[in-house]
Each structure stands twice: as structure tokens, then as C-alpha cells.
Amino acid sequence: MHALCCYYPFVSCAAQCVKKTQISTGNMLLHRTIHAKFWLRFTSFTLVFLVIVIIYCMMGYVTYPNRQPLSAPPLKVTYCRPQNYILFIKVHKTGSTSVMTILQRYGLSKNLTFILPLVSNYLGKHTTLRLSPNILVPHDNRAINILCNHVMYNQTAFRAVLNGRRVVYGSKLEKARLSCNQNFMTKRRRCGSKIDKNQTTINIKDYTLFTMIRRPLAQVISAAYYYKLFPGISADNLMETILRKPSLFTSNRMSFDLGLFHFHNSTKVQEFIKNIDADFDIVLLMEYFDESMVLLKRYLCWQISDILYI
């Protein structure tokens, strides 16, 4: 109807057509005004923001001739060399084989010396460290760099085997200088090497001594499956069988590997704990394996590539 009114010259229709056209034109003008105001405000805010950014950036280049520069204290940079004399007590079923392979790869890449069993993976299965025809050591009395096979820890026995051997300096070891993080200093570690440049023989205190442990119950269950201690027993009856037939693992094999014999003597246990705390530089946790490797890297002053593993 509106379209017909616009084409036929009837007075009433013509008036209605003019009215509709005015309303439509007013709406278009109103929309254009709103859009214009929006873009004007947006442009204004953008210009103000750009001006503020430019002024802020220029402030860094403004100099004040009357202002004295702040005097910063001299930066003290300390360095350390990679620790290449390492004793790792390989505790059963605690992820220790993964650590051992990391140490072996590092030692091979640096041409370091190992103390190794002639057969198997044991320097001492139920005994501590003793020299015998089945134990391989450098024939020229050269100091042993790395020990990482199974053996029970005993400080006296370790001292008898390791102490007094000849220290050999390599050019690569002396040139390696890495930044030392003071936050990881301990009572026995310093920024630098434990080995003095003029030192001719090794001492057990020159070694970094560490181990890895895990939750005792998890170790017992892992050992029960790995060594088939209770063949034919279902998982539901495993714990009951373990408790009825205790073994060395149920008596805390980790402590046994670290040198404890008297499990039921409270005095001996407390003495054992104090000795471990005094002798070991660091104790890692299998439940935090990656974090432990990062901590070990920082402690030994190694590179990140030295602790990569599969």
C-alpha cells in the first residue's frame, strides 16, 4: 500500500508517503551520527594511547646533567669445575640403574676411570668394598673417578680402597669453568673443585657421595615382583604373604645397602642415621626423579646434556 501511494498522486497517500520517507531519512541520519561519534571517540583514545606510549619510551632516553648515576656494587662472579670424583651407592630397586647409566655415559665421554666388577653388576652383593681379582681398578694406581655398581657402603672400607691413589689432571677438566650458584652451597661443597690444583693423591673427602632411595613399601613390592620372591601369589594376597614371610627387603634393604646390619637395635639405628647424614653430600628421591636429576646437575656443576636419560 505504501508503494502504491508513492506512485499515485492521491493527497492522502502522498502525505503518508512523505511522512514515511522523513522517518526513514531521520533513522539513517541518526545511525550515521552514532557511528561518527563512535569512530571519533575511538580515534581520540587511540591517539592519546599512542602519545602516552611515545612519551614513556622517550623517558628512557632523557638525560639529566645534574643527576648523579646510581653506583651499583661490583658483581662478584664465582665459578666451579665439574665434579669428576663420584661415589654413587646403588641401592636396589630405587631407580638406581637409570642413575648408573647416566654416570657411565658421563664417565665415558670424559675418559674417566671406573672401579668395576669382573662379572655381574656387583662390587659386593652382601658385602662392602674390598679389592680382589674380581674387582677391576686402574693398574697404574690412578685415582678412581666413579664408583656406581652395587656394593654395601662402609666408610672405613671405602677409605682403604680409594685413598692414596694418584690424581691425574686433564686439560679439559682444568679449562671447564661454569657459573656456580651460591644457593646450592652446602657445608662440604665450595665453588670450585674439591681437588686442589697441587694435590697429588686422592682422599675419600674429595669425592661427591650420594645415593637414591624411595618409599620403603614401594621398594618391597617392586622387589617382590622383580626377583619373583613369592611366585604364584596373586596381587590381592601379596602383602599378607610378605608379612608372613619377611625377608631382607621387608627389613628395609635400603638401609642394608647403606651399611646397617642391626635393624632392631635402636642405638645402632640412630648411630647409622647420624653417620649417613654426616658422610653423604646428597640423597635423591625416586618419587622426584626429574627434580633429583636437576639438583644433582647443579651440585656436580654438570651440563643439562649430562643428565638426559630415556
| Secondary structure (DSSP) of 172-192 | HHHH--EE--GGG--SS--SS
Question: Amino acid identity, residue 182?
Answer: Q
Each residue of 110-138: b (16+ CB within 10 Å) or e? bebbbbbbeeeeebbeeebbeeeeebebe
- pLDDT of 246 reads 76
Q: What is the distance between the alpha carbons of residues 87 and 14, in angstroms, rounded to a whole number?
A: 106
The pairing of strands 86-89 and 208-213 is: parallel
Rounded Cα distance, 233 and 237, in Å: 6
N residues, the chain = 310
How far is the C-alpha of 87 from the C-alpha of 125, rounded, in Å?
Answer: 17
Contact 85, 204 (CB under 8 A): no
Consecutive H or E run containing 254? helix 253-257
Instruction: Give start and end residues of each alpha helix (H) in the chain.
Output: 2-7, 11-59, 96-109, 155-162, 171-175, 216-226, 238-244, 253-257, 266-279, 289-300
- Residue 203 CB neighbour total at 10 angstroms: 17
For residue 69, the 8-state DSSP code is P
Please give the Cα distance from 200 to 167 (Å, whole number): 5
* Residue 156, φ and ψ in degrees, nearest 5: -65, -45
3-state helix, strand, coil in the chain (%, to 5): 45, 10, 40
Residues in a beta bridge with 126: none
For the chain, report the end-to-end CA distance as a whole number of angstroms. 83
CB under 8 Å to 113, separation ≥6 — which residues? Answer: 107, 138, 142, 143, 144, 145, 146
SS3 105: helix
> Is 79-307 assigned to CATH 3.30.300?
no
- Sketch the domain layout of the chain as residue ranges: 2-59, 79-307
Grid cell of 192 as nine digits:
670450585
- How far is it, in rounded angstroms, from Cα 277 to Cα 209? 11
The pLDDT tens digits along the chain (310 residues) read 444 454 444 445 545 544 555 555 555 666 666 666 777 787 888 888 888 878 776 665 544 455 555 565 665 555 678 899 999 999 999 999 999 999 999 999 999 999 999 998 899 988 999 999 999 999 899 999 999 999 999 999 999 999 999 998 765 544 445 556 555 555 445 566 677 777 899 999 999 999 999 999 899 889 988 988 888 888 888 888 888 877 777 888 899 999 998 888 999 999 999 999 999 999 999 999 999 999 999 999 999 999 999 8
